[in-house]
Amino acid sequence: MNPLLEDWTAPFGAPPLDRIGPEHFASAYAQALADHDVEIARIAGNAAPPDFSNTIAQLERSGKLLARIDAVFNAFAGSATNGALQAVELEMAPRLSAHWTAIYLNAPLFARLDAVWQRRADLGLDPESMKVLERIHLDFVRAGARLSPEARARMDAINQRLATLSTEFSQNVLADEDSYVEPLSEAEVAGASASLREALAATAKERGIEAPYAVTLSRSSIEPFLQSADSRDLREKLFKTWIRRGRNPGAHDNSAVMAEILSLRAEKARLLGYETYAAYKLADSMAGTPARARALLDKVWAPARKRALEERDALQELVAEEGGNFPLAPWDWRYYAEKLRQRRYDFDDDALKPYLTLDNMIAAAFDTAARLFGLGFRPRSDIPVYHPDVRVWEVSRDGKSIGLFYGDYFARAGKQGGAWMSSLRDQESLGGEVLPLITNNCNFIKGDPALLSFDDARTVFHEFGHALHGLLSLVRYPRLSGTNVARDFVELPSQLFEHWLEEPQVLSRFARHYRTGEPMPAALMDKLVAARHFNQGFQTVEFLASAFTDLDFHSKSLENYDTLALESASLAAIDMPDSIAPRHAAQHFGHIFAGEGYSAGYYSYLWSEVLDADGFEAFREAKDPFAPALAKKLHQHIYSAGGTRDFTESYRSFRGRDPEIEALLKGRGLETNDA
């Protein structure tokens, strides 16, 4: 029996992840695709006049088996992959693309859908039904449903090729990350804190390295090392290795892959009547146009660059003071910034980490959700998982179960880098209540216990904010569920939730020493708050550089794309400081090349930050971070509404007005006189 095709009998109908292997996916996908083809043919060929029930609602009910197999496969491909799964991924990417393209370009199906849409004002639809009709119709139009037969055939070929290329891109980056481990001697970890040494020793043991320590290219491993290692030569070597992921000579070089992706995306946009891919992509966003997205980046860039140059000068003075005779380089910044922070604020990450255990930060996130939204969390040991690291909680509200939350927090071989939220099943109620199964993935270094930096703790809250967006969803139609919202709105629930981590009410309860149980001393907490704006110029500049590059990549329609030259030109145009590298070098910029999700949309983190900074200001104005009336509005209009409403209206309903940028600039310490 194939466990993917069985009835899932675990509690909550959870998938039997512990019994699924690479060998099960081919036959499961074949069955799911065939079933979906039959369902689509039945809808498209229905002899009855098209109406909402027999066309839109049936589209929303179709493809259930495919959706559940896709969700499980994506979980394995992102968090527990191997050669066999990667082979399946490469095989299925173009087949799945062809399947969906055939649906969106199905002329009889679109004719029925369009007929319903044309009569939408006369159908007496409730607001959510009207929204799903408009959304699905727009999905088809943006996919090319109105193209000529010749253009449709070309669109199909483009989509299949893009699916293959995006898969190759992410597999190349993962190959570079997995294949590199740097053994370290006792002398080479000079400067590293005790907690970092423990983590590097655990990495060496886990990877089977004979040396006492080892560092990998996982951000959670290499960034702390760059921040503390005394050896400048070793910092330079590791930094350059880190940023060259996806650009090393050989089979895993992404240069040609990126160029072809950009070329095909530009052609796709032209087929659909847009001048550039960025114009196509942002037409379906809150920003609306690349010009509006760039205007936001420009407004923040000037004060951010000014602050970063001031920070650079201070770090350069520290280099000279210590006898260094070299200009500050990107591999020096984190090291000297940490020294300067210790000097100015009399604390470092190592002073914080004993108070920031992973388990306590998870508990803090849960408690915050309980106080805001009335949620409860109960560990479940009877839910199958794909790796022993994964933990599961049942989530409840008002005494009623509302879903499962899976937490997968540790870095390991076969797991993509970074942090993300995903879904094993989305909430909906079209055919009866379906509870969501939501996953958070992070890449922390395993310890006993796992000790986090403050940025790591913020990541826990960020990803859990995404999880809440999925868990609290309360909609009827799958297409509008949870995080199925505009790209520059989707980061609002996650980034907004981060603010509660810094609240004294939260830190005083959950930031406790892992050995003594004592709360973080008030003096240390005060220092943490005082240092909130430290190094914000650097952090803002490295993000903005990647956002500008993304928009520039996708705002051109060229014969040939030299991605390295384009990246260099983009950075030169904004006068990027030499001592700071973009947060994501192009060749491993998975947000924009390992799929189309954030392509031409990396700016959306900043767009959402305008919303989240302004939104949390409402709680500050109320002088209560858990103000019940505001929390109720937040739940109703942001976390539970999914894509059922216009996103600008959703924000206004919560905040009472449109967002203002001042809170973002203040939050980053970038206020200007003319802001």
Q: Based on the number of CB atoms within 10 Å of its own CB, is 433 exposed (0-12), middle (13-18) or buried (19 or more)?
A: exposed
What is the per-residue DSSP string for 85-129?
HHHHHHHHHHHHHHHHHHHHT-HHHHHHHHHHHHTGGGS---HHH
Residue corresponding to tokens 């052609």:
267
Residue corresponding to tokens 């009335």:
374
Q: Are strands 400-410 and 437-444 parallel, antiparallel or unpaired?
A: parallel
- How far CA 96 is from CA of 88, 152, 165, 202, 595, in Å, comes to 12, 16, 13, 40, 13
The angle at the Cα of 382, spanning 380 to 385, to the nearest 5 degrees, equals 90
CB 606 within 8 A of CB 297: yes
Helix (H) or strand (E) holding 376: strand 375-379
The first and second tokens of residue 228, run together, are 């503390």
CB 296 within 8 A of CB 606: yes
CA 95 to chain CA mean position, Å: 25
State how far the Cα of 455 lies from the Cα of 466, in Å rounded to an integer: 17
Catalytic one of 60, 89, 338, 463: 463
Closest-CA residue to 660 (of 675, 650, 674): 675
Closest-CA residue to 247 (of 237, 257, 238, 239): 257
State how far the Cα of 37 lies from the Cα of 33, in Å rounded to an integer: 6
Closest-CA residue to 601 (of 642, 550, 641): 550
String of b and e for 398-411 (b: at least 16 CB within 10 Å)?
Answer: eeeebbbbbbbbbb
The first and second tokens of residue 621, run together, are 């104005």
Q: Length of the chain, please?
A: 675
Q: Based on the number of CB atoms within 10 Å of its own CB, is 656 exposed (0-12), middle (13-18) or buried (19 or more)?
A: exposed
The angle at the Cα of 305, spanning 304 to 309, to the nearest 5 degrees, equals 120
CB 564 within 8 A of CB 586: yes
Q: Catalytic residue at 649?
A: no
CB 380 within 8 A of CB 393: yes
Q: At what angle do helices 232-243 and 330-345 cross, to 10 degrees?
A: 120
State how far the Cα of 565 lies from the Cα of 572, in Å rounded to an integer: 10
The helices-and-strands tally (H runs, E runs) of the chain is: 27, 7
CA 271 to chain CA mean position, Å: 29
With the C-alpha atoms ordered 593, 599, 600, 605, is the resulting torsion angle positive or negative?
A: negative
| Residues forming the active site | 463
